[in-house]
Amino acid sequence: MKRFSIDYVVKTICILLLTSCESNSFKLVVAIPDATNLQTPCTVYLNGVDVGVLNHLRVGNQGQLYADLELQQVNNLPSDSEFLISNELLGGKSFQIKSGASLLVLVQGDTVNCREINPDPVKNEGANPFESFMKIPQKQDSILKELQRLNQNIEKVLKEKK
């Protein structure tokens, strides 16, 4: 009888130790459209809060880019959540998740697609990026003309007061 209780206690302790060593992370695979300037590991934000890391970029069989997404303290992520890569001001990229409202949730190991937001303005202009560059002086000219007109009005009012 004593032997049975010692074995039971040892097995229970081992099971408790093994389950306590399990990771609390939620892992997904992300299909990435363009990894230019994406540094790994990359901090992942869920609705603006730091929740994990994006790492291990790799190329799939058809040339598609994949990365591992490891989220901490996230148990249920709705299946309609948006996965976004955005350009930062100094040329890097950040990874963001906007939580959805679906009752269906993603399962550990699922592959999700992400999309790029705030794309490079040169790419958006299409065939002629020079056109967007040339619009800047036109805007500046119109602002200068408006300032000159205001200055003339101020001078006119000042002369009338004398």
* Same domain membership, residue 38 and residue 96: yes
| Structural domains of the chain, count | 2
Query: Each residue of 125-153: pLDDT tens digit?
Result: 455 556 655 555 566 677 788 888 889 98
Measured between alpha carbons, how far is 120 from 112 in angstroms, rounded to an integer? 23
Question: Largest Cα–Cα distance in the chain?
Answer: 114
* Same domain membership, residue 39 and residue 108: yes
Note whether 40 and 55 are within 8 A (CB). yes
Answer whether residue 11 is part of any domain: no
Tokens (6 digits) for 149:
């007109």
Closest by Cα among 70, 89, 74 to 28: 70
* Same domain membership, residue 113 and residue 128: no
Note whether 119 and 88 are within 8 A (CB). no
pTM attached to this predicted model: 0.56
Distance of CA 99 to the CA centre of its chain: 12
pLDDT at 119: 54
* Same domain membership, residue 45 and residue 68: yes
pLDDT at 63: 81
Domain span including residue 111 = 21-118
* Same domain membership, residue 156 and residue 144: yes
* Same domain membership, residue 32 and residue 93: yes
Tokens (6 digits) for 52:
């994990």
pLDDT at 1: 46
pLDDT at 73: 78
* Same domain membership, residue 158 and residue 109: no
pLDDT at 61: 84
Could you tell me whether strands 49-59 and 42-46 are parallel, antiparallel, or unpaired per DSSP bridges?
A: antiparallel
Distance of CA 140 to the CA centre of its chain: 34
Positive or negative: CA dihedral 59, 25, 50, 117: positive
* Same domain membership, residue 40 and residue 95: yes
Q: Given 100, 118, 136, which residue is the final one in a domain?
A: 118
Residues (pLDDT < 50) of the chain are 1, 20, 122, 125
